[in-house]
Amino acid sequence: MTIEHLQYLKHSNSKASKMVTELQQKGIHHEALLQLMLTIPRHDFVESAFSHLAYSATPLPIGKSQTISQPLTVAVMTQWLLKYSRLGRVLEVGTGSGYQTCILSHFFNKVHTIERQKSLFDTAHQRLSKMAIRNVEFHHGDGHLGWPTTLKVDAVIVTAMANKVPLALTDCLKDKGILIMPLDQPEPMIGCWQKLNDQWKRLEDGPAQFVPMLEGLVCD
Ligand code: SAH
C-alpha cells in the first residue's frame, strides 16, 4: 500500500462502522477485508441521489440502469477469493462503479477488469485513477470474449448474471484457478469453483441478485 492510498484510507464514518458490524454478524471475518471496507468511501461509488444509502444492505443504482452489489455480496465473493485463490492476477467482468475492482486491487498484484458500458467504464477508470490505484488494467469490451490479449489468471470474478459460463473466461484460468460467477440456471445462485485438470470442483455457493450479463458494447 502506498502513501497515496492512506489519504482515502483515512476516511471512515459511523455508517461504514455499522456496515462492517453487520458484515461480521453475517460471517465475514477476514480482518484486512473488513478494515478495507470500513475505509473505502462507498458513497463515492453510487449515484449521488443514493449516497446516503451507500452503506445499507441493498444494491444501489450506479447509472445506466446498473447496480452496485450490496456490501455483503461483495464481501462474500472477496472472502472466497482470499480463502481459495492465489493473489497474483485476477480478471473481473463487470467493472460497474469500480467498487469491487478497488477492493480486488488491494489484494491482488494485478487486476484486469472489463466493462461493456462506455460511460461506466470511463467513470470507474477516472475514479480509481484519482484514488491513486495503479495496478488495474481497464478494458471497454464484452466479457463473453475475455481479455483482448493472451492472459492467464489465478481467478475470474463475474459480477453480472449469465446462464452459462463463457468459454473465454474458463480458458484464461490457470490450473487450480478460482472462478466466481452468478448463474441463473437451474436457479439463480452464485458459485465458487476451482479448475482442476479441466474439471470443476464446486467450493461454495450462495444466493444471487445481479443484473444480467449482456452481449455487445454500449458506446454512449
Ligand atoms: N462490480 C460492480 C457491479 C456492477 S453491476 C460494482 O462494484 O459496481 C454489473 C456490471 O456488469 C454492469 O456495469 C454491466 O454493464 C456489466 N456487464 C454486463 N454484461 C457485461 C459483459 N458482457 N461484459 C462486460 N461487462 C458487462
43-66 pLDDT, tens digit each: 999 999 999 999 999 999 999 999
d(CA 128, CA 63): 17
> Which amino acid, residue 93?
V
For the entire predicted model, the pTM comes to 0.94
**Domains in the chain, ordered, with CATH?**
57-206 (3.40.50.150)
C-alpha of 186 from chain center:
23
- Interval between CA 117 and ligand 1 midpoint (Å): 8
Distance CA 76, CA 74 (A): 6
β-pair type (173-183, 110-115): unpaired
Q: How far apart are CA 72 and CA 195, in angstroms?
A: 25
Active site members: 69
**Ligand 1 center–CA 21 separation, angstroms:** 27
For 88, half-sphere exposure in the C-beta direction (CA atoms, 13 angstrom radius) is 11
CB of 108 closer than 6 A to ligand 1? no
State pLDDT tens for residues 101-119: 999 999 999 999 999 999 9
